[in-house]
Structure 1
Amino acid sequence: MRKSQIDPMVLINVFELTGGDIEELVADWQMALDVMRNMSGFISSTLHRSVDGNAKFQLINVAHWESAEDFQAAFADPEFLSISGKMLASDRYSFTPHPSIYRRALTTEIQG
């Protein structure tokens, strides 16, 4: 049984945009995701965009990893560090990421 079938780790990363073009940031995020998807332990990622233009956090990424160790190794990978460094230094947009790892505490589903 894969670790992800037991209880995957959840990365929630909220992005506080302070200027620039959100579309450019989303395009660059896709490049970073193309690197992440090949890393050990990566399960999935969904980038959410606020429908409220005044929201403090315009983008929220929810990603699933098989373990905290897999996530930490991925974020220490030189290729990912290069891409994320370029994103943080971009003059096309400005943002502050606020990542944290979570474990599921409660799940509720509607029974059909």
Structure 2
Amino acid sequence: MSMLKPLDPAFPIQSQLSIDASPVILVNVFTLAAADEAAFLAAWEDDAAFMKAQPGFISTQLHRAIGPSPTYLNYAVWQSTADFSAAFSHPTFRGKLAAYPSSAVALPHLFQKVAVSGICTA
């Protein structure tokens, strides 16, 4: 992958990995050149298969922006920050990043569900 950029520059994902939380949601927004979509999807599918086999992985879903914009959003649920960190730091996964097209930029960030009375549960 050509570039990992923080969604929140004041608190990038590298800083989030040291926080003990569970469960956690990875939200990762990808931007790329339209000509690179097929290569991006192949690389993402390979990554997802690797992540799916890792301890603590619960689920993932890839979304594509509507219209002509080649913008994608990945939503992945992990049992804990520690589980996600182990998978994200795994040498096999890190090696897979080179398969992404050079135009791809990823903005990963970890979240937790929030309870709002009468609307949603945590």
Query: Which TM bucket (shorter chain)?
Result: 0.7 to 0.9
Query: Take 2:33 and 2:45, find their aligned partners in 1: how far apart are those partners?
Result: 20
Q: 1:45 offset after TM fit, Å?
A: 0.6
| Alignment RMSD (CA, Å) | 1.9
Runs of 4+ in 1 over 4 A off after TM superposition: none
Deviations along 1:14-68, one digit per CA (max 9) or x if unpaired, are 01214532122112110111111111100111000111224xx710000000001
Partner of 1:21: 36
CA distance in 2, matches of 1:67, 1:16: 26
**TM-score, structure 2 as length reference:** 0.71
Q: CA deviation at 1:105?
A: 1.2
Alignment coverage as a number of residue pairs: 97
* Structure 2 Cα separation of the partners of residues 105 and 17 of structure 1: 31
Structure 1, gaps ≥5 residues long? 1-6
Query: Which runs of 5 or more structure 2 residues have no equivalent in the other structure?
Result: 1-21
Hey, what's the Cα distance between the residues in 2 that align with 1:41 and 1:25? 25
Aligned counterpart for 2:75 among listed residues 46, 59, 62 = 62
Equivalence for 1:41: 56
Identical aligned residues as a percent: 31
> 1:100 aligned to 2:109?
yes
